[in-house]
Amino acid sequence: MDIQPYLLLSAITFVIGVVGVLARRNAIIVFMSIELMLNSVNLSLVAFSAFLGDVTGQMLVFFVMTVAAAEAAVGLAIIIALFRNKQTVNIDDINILKW
Amino acid sequence: MDLYIIVFYLFALITLASAAIVVISKNIVYSAFALLFTFFGVAGLYVLLMADFIAVTQLLIYVGGILVLLLFGVMLTTKVIRVDMRTATVRTFPAVVIVAALAGTLIGIFWSTDWPQSPASDGFERTIPQIGEMLLTSYLLPFEIASVVLLVALIGAAMIARRERKAL
Amino acid sequence: MIVIRLEDLLYSAPLLVLTSSGLLALIAEAAGRDKPVISYYTSLIGVITSLILTFLNLGAGVPVFNNMILQGGYAAYCNLIFLSSALLSIVLSRSYLERMQYHRGEFYVLIVFATAGMMLMAAALDLTIVFLGIELMSICLYVLAGFMRKKELANEAALKYFLLGAFATGFLLYGIALIYGTSGTTNLVVISRSFAQLSGNSLFLIGCGMLIVAFSFKIAAVPFHMWAPDVYEGAPTTVTAFMSTGAKAAAFATFVAVFVRVFDIPGTALSSVLALIAAASMIVGNVTAIAQNNVKRMLAYSSIAHTGYMLSGIAAGNAEGEQGILFYLVAYTFMNIGAFGIVSWVEQQEDRKLKFDDYAGFSARQPAVAVLMSVFMFSLAGIPPFAGFFGKYYVFLAAVKADMTWLAIIGVMTSLVSVYYYLRLVVLMYFCEGESDVAAKVPLAAISAVTLAAVLVILLGIYPSLLVDMTKGFFKI
């Protein structure tokens, strides 16, 4: 099997994630969409790694996952702090936050 | 048809369908559960690509860690009865950007046809020993940085989200 | 296989010392509860030691840790910028945070680790390190932006910064993935060797484009600047000072390292894209800054404009441009951090005293501080003989030499526009009546930090060659 289907799948997932970030107004959904983007990148990296016969890509995926976990912790802490003060996670309800 | 190809399209379908649900669903809990299936689908694809270590970490970190965190976030910030029902509106400028990005990426992939055609299915080779060795030799510095990143995230998250200890 | 050599540790001593001081400050904070001063001094000592070690390391760049990072030379020069930015921010933060009642030891720990991330970004020889450095810096900054966690504006700033930052990370990684897929490596030196043949590969160019998008987010260039004004306004003022100088310089250092030092961009489509982004940043930043009434927001838009000036140096891509950016980064760091420092003295709790009008008649009560503020404003406006003038002179000269005269013309025109809003503040301070004063007694350390910044702005304006000569050998790899 060729690498193209993997890359196409990864590209489509990435674009779905981008659409989610730009179109959705709930901070947690936006964050989930970002996770989709990271997953699609990881898929590309693993596919390249497998087809190049080189393990470097998988190393990178390992670091991406670590950082994703760290970002998730900080991001949710920020979301919770905001919710405590404001009782909302909708980006539209946040007056100054105009994209 | 080859079994490998059938399994690939099965996982691809799971990934794409659930990814679409994450973004489209009006109910945030559905989105979170759809994300679970995306993570599983991607893990399946890793197995097909012979990336055993990454497939396992995907389940451990994404499903076991990030998704659970996300669900906590959902529970802590949504009133369970009245789940977020806001409708989405795409603005024209982002839409143009997305379409351009999509078209650009896809065309780029189709154009460049000279890929090394040596799929990993030539024979199973465990990647874990290789990854383990690299983490402690050539990738030692990134490995240490990753640990600092995690430490920083720990301090930062605790700092921002914890309850007030007392008047400062 | 040799894992670590002694040289690796010696050459990266500034980085290791800084990181250790961050860890020590963290332990000190955990051990001595409610005594953030201990963390303050620990991190201060760490930054100063690292600064001294960096000075000793200014010679030729040496790749260390299996070609993962470059230490010395270019990296050392950039480290000087980050460390000075961190030093001034730490000194200014103590009195500011005490006044705002948010003085906690974790603050300094996060500043120190963010600085370590910046040092890694500038030193990176591998895309893995670029990614990890950016993330280490960004995660610290997300938290620092929302440090005043009971303030809604700060929460919103942190959330916006976080979401857009993570979004940009997605693009960065996709770019890295495409570059890895087409070149088969993540090592920048290896990629640079085969750049000639790779630049014909469209997927490789898309990867580079994605990197440009990600970096443009980090340096706040138009059209990826929308987070900057809100985040700069919502974050604690001293953090804004740190973000707009250290973090921006780090993103620029990586940008230059990746796109000038390694990828040979002049003449390619990428350089015209960069020129367009630069022109848009100069125009949008300067025109929007005129309309601002909040000084922090004005400085945020002004920082977008300065991003544009510096980007024109990268777009030009010649030796003058490279040296110009490196000089500009230093000048910009000192003038901007000084300006934000003074803003932090005037500011009062709950975001009061941040308007232009709050500076009316400032010179009558604080003549010395008014003089310092005027120095920074004149320098930001690019009026000779201050350092800001030579920064602009070098990058615009580089643009002209690279046959981008239109870019230099836009730069000069928008600089003239910028004179209006910078001088508006000076006019208010000197020629208007008002009751304005600094919020509380400013400690000696903070005054000397800002004075030092002003002295450097003047000194570099008179002797720009002090720095420019230093940067000559940095772009041979």
Q: What is the pLDDT of residues A34-72, one digit of tens each?
A: 999 999 999 999 999 988 888 999 999 999 999 999 999
The pLDDT of residue A93 is 57
Please state, for a pLDDT cut of 90, what percent of chain C lies above it. 59
- Residue with the bigger pLDDT between C413 and A86: it is C413
- Position C112 pLDDT exceeds 90: yes
The 3-state secondary structure of chain C reads CCCCCHHHHHHCHHHHHHHHHHHHHHHHHHHCCCCHHHHHHHHHHHHHHHHHHHHHCCCCCEEECCCCEEECCHHHHHHHHHHHHHHHHHHHHHHHHHHHCCCCHHHHHHHHHHHHHHHHHHHECEHHHHHHHHHHHHHHHHHHHCCCCCCHHHHHHHHHHHHHHHHHHHHHHHHHHHHHHHHCCCEHHHHHHCHHHHCCCHHHHHHHHHHHHHHHHHHCCCCCCCHHHHHHHHCCHHHHHHHHHHHHHHHHHHHHHHHHHHCCCCCCHHHHHHHHHHHHHHHHHHHHHHCCCEHHHHHHHHHHHHHHHHHHHHHHCCHHHHHHHHHHHHHHHHHHHHHHHHHHHHCECCCECCEHHHHCCHHHHCHHHHHHHHHHHHHHHCCCCCHHHHHHHHHHHHHHHCCCHHHHHHHHHHHHHHHHHHHHHHHHHHHCCCCCCCCCCCCHHHHHHHHHHHHHHHHHHHCCHHHHHHHHHHHCC
- Shortest distance, CA C343 to any CA of chain B (angstroms): 24
Nearest to B19 among A36, A69, A70 (CB): A36
The answer as to whether A47 is a domain residue is: yes
- Shortest distance, CA A37 to any CA of chain C (angstroms): 6
The answer as to whether A98 is a domain residue is: no
- Shortest distance, CA C189 to any CA of chain B (angstroms): 15
Instruction: For B145, name the nearest residue in chain A, comparing CA atoms only.
Output: A63
The span from the CA of C200 to the CA of C206, in Å, is 11
The answer as to whether A32 is a domain residue is: yes
Instruction: For A41, name the nearest residue in chain C, comparing CA atoms only.
Output: C174
The pLDDT of residue B39 is 95
- Position C51 pLDDT exceeds 90: yes
- Position C269 pLDDT exceeds 60: yes
Nearest to A80 among B76, B91, B152 (CB): B76
Peptide bond into C385 cis (omega under 30): yes
Q: Is B124 exposed, middle or buried (0-12, 13-18, 19+ CB in 10 A)?
A: exposed
Q: Which of residues 199-238 of C touch B (CB under 8 A)?
A: 201-203, 205-206, 209
Contact, C322 vs C471, CB < 8 A? yes
Phi/psi of residue A98, each to 5°? -100, 130
Partners of residue C166 in chain A, C-beta under 8 Å: 31, 34, 71, 75
Q: By residue range, what is the domain housing residue A18?
A: 4-93
The pLDDT of residue B89 is 47
Q: H or E segment at B114?
A: none
Contact, C146 vs C155, CB < 8 A? yes
Chains A and C form CB pairs within 8 A to the count of 119
- Position C416 pLDDT exceeds 90: yes
The answer as to whether A21 is a domain residue is: yes
Any idea what the CATH number is for the domain that residue A57 is in?
1.10.287.3510
Nearest to B112 among C68, C110, C203 (CB): C203
Highest average pLDDT, of C12-26, C345-359, C422-436, comes from C12-26
Mean pLDDT value of segment C314-329 = 88
The span from the CA of B9 to the CA of B146, in Å, is 34
The pLDDT of residue C411 is 94
The residues of chain B scoring below 50 in pLDDT are 80-90, 121, 123, 167-168
Domains held by chain A: number: 1
- Position C380 pLDDT exceeds 90: yes
Mean pLDDT value of segment C233-255 = 94
Partners of residue A98 in chain C, C-beta under 8 Å: 226, 230
Pairing relation of β-strands C69-71 and C62-64?
antiparallel
Question: CB–CB of A29 and B28 under 8 A?
Answer: yes
Q: pTM for the complete prediction?
A: 0.93
Question: CB–CB of A70 and C135 under 8 A?
Answer: yes
Mean pLDDT value of segment C13-38 = 89
Q: Which of residues 70-109 of B touch C (CB under 8 A)?
A: 104-105, 107-109
Q: Which of A65, A85, A98 to mutate to test binding with chain B, by most B CBs within 10 Å of its CB?
A: A65
The span from the CA of B49 to the CA of A43, in Å, is 9
The pLDDT of residue C398 is 92
The span from the CA of B57 to the CA of B64, in Å, is 9
The pLDDT of residue B80 is 43
Partners of residue C142 in chain A, C-beta under 8 Å: 74-75, 78
Question: CB–CB of C170 and A94 under 8 A?
Answer: no
User: pLDDT averaged over chain C?
Assistant: 90
